[in-house]
């Protein structure tokens, strides 16, 4: 796991941005973020809005009390999107750093739970 610890300084919710790529690890990242949201660990937020520089999404992200980027693989698309939008203070979790291999990691409950638990611990 690559953790770029930096907590955002706003008083808003903890936001989770996840890969939703075509690979199995992207699906795991996406579903883990949804599970974390369901469990009240943070709020999954719109990465496309960050990439599109949607003003409301940018301002809500700036006000977040914490940001977690969950990438599926070493391409780090989520991390790169956030950085290109000017966000540099966030935590980063990469699914493949947890021992799950791209193309060989089914998006099953066990793998999703592994990522969601690690993400929850990071945001705690």
List pLDDT tens digits, range 42-57.
999 999 999 999 999 9
> What six digits make up the tokens of 29?
């990242």
Lowest-confidence range among 20-24, 93-97, 113-117? 20-24
**61, 67 contact by CB (below 8 A):** yes
Residue spans per domain, the chain:
14-123
- CA distances 15 to 22, 31, 59, 67, 112, Å, are 22, 15, 12, 5, 18
**pLDDT band at residue 11 using 50, 70 and 90 as cut-offs:** confident
For the chain, helix, strand, coil in percent to 5 are 45, 15, 40
For residue 6, the SS3 value is: coil
Q: Report which of 102, 77, 101, 79 is spatially closest to residue 92, judged by C-alpha positions.
A: 79
Closest listed residue to residue 66, CA positions, set 7, 3, 12: 7
Q: Evaluate whether 92 touches 69 at the Cβ level (below 8 Å).
A: yes
Q: What is the pLDDT of residue 12?
A: 86
Task: Give the tens place of pLDDT for each residue, 60-96.
Answer: 999 999 999 999 999 999 999 999 999 999 999 999 9
Task: Measure the CA–CA gap between 96 and 86, rounded to whole angstroms.
Answer: 25
pTM: 0.91
Checking if the pLDDT of 7 tops 80, the result is: no
Rounded distance between C-alpha atoms, residue 57 and residue 49, angstroms:
6
């Amino acid at each position: 796991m690559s953790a770029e610890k930096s907590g955002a300084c706003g008083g808003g919710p903890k936001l989770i941005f996840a890969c939703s790529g075509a690979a199995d690890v992207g699906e795991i990242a996406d579903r883990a973020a949804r599970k974390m949201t369901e469990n009240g660990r943070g709020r999954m937020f719109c990465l496309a809005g960050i990439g599109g520089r949607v003003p409301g999404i940018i301002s809500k992200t700036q006000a977040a009390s914490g940001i977690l980027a969950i990438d599926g693989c070493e391409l780090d698309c989520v991390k790169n999107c956030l950085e290109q939008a000017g966000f540099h203070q966030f935590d980063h979790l990469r699914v493949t750093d947890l021992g799950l291999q791209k193309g060989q990691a089914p998006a099953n409950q066990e793998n999703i739970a592994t990522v969601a638990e690690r993400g929850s611990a990071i945001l705690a």
